[in-house]
């Protein structure tokens, strides 16, 4: 009787390995869309007060800004979530990397890095779990039919 119960139980090792591989691959591939940049700026973060140059809420909430570091004036552009409250010439906190001020973004780089990392981890865990769950269910339903 025990051998019959053991035969109907799916082996979980390969599914756990698959889930772990999917998690790692999903995390690394999603991180390519900004996480490394946010991390680099957050690790070497310096801040400056910048000035908004343009605000275009119709085009992906695009803003452009300017700021000065060590006597050098730099420009940047980004997407800002609530651009309707912004007007040209508004002051704006700019985070930049002390190693390369050309790497910059509006707002707090550390907060954006944490937010992005949490989003990527949640998406990676859920997608990996869903794939493994579907494969386990499909495998157990096949065993029950046979």
Asked if residue 57 belongs to a domain, the reply is yes
The tens digit of pLDDT for each residue in 90-137 reads 899 999 999 999 999 999 999 999 998 998 889 888 888 888 888 888
Domain of residue 61, CATH code: 2.40.50
The overall pTM is greater than 0.95: no
The tens digit of pLDDT for each residue in 1-28 reads 455 555 555 577 787 788 888 888 888 8
DSSP classification of residue 93:
E
Residue 51 near residue 92, CB atoms below 8 Å: yes
Structural domain of 124: 31-140
The position carrying tokens 């007060």 is 49
Residue 109 near residue 94, CB atoms below 8 Å: no
Residue 113 near residue 70, CB atoms below 8 Å: no
Asked if residue 146 belongs to a domain, the reply is no
Specify the number of domains making up the chain.
Answer: 1
DSSP classification of residue 44:
T
């Amino acid at each position: 009787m025990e051998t019959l119960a053991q035969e109907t139980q799916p082996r979980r090792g390969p599914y756990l390995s698959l889930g772990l591989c999917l998690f790692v691959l999903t995390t690394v591939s999603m991180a390519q869309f900004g996480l490394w940049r946010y991390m680099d700026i957050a690790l070497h973060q310096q801040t400056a007060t910048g000035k908004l140059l343009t605000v275009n809420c119709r085009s992906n909430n695009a803003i452009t800004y300017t700021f000065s570091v060590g006597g050098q004036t730099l420009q940047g552009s980004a997407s800002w979530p609530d651009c309707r409250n912004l007007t040209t010439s508004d002051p704006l906190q700019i985070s930049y990397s002390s190693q390369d001020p050309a790497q910059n973004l509006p707002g707090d780089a550390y907060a954006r890095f944490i937010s992005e990392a949490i989003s990527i981890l949640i998406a990676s865990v859920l997608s990996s779990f869903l794939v493994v769950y579907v494969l386990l269910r499909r495998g157990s339903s096949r065993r029950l039919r046979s």
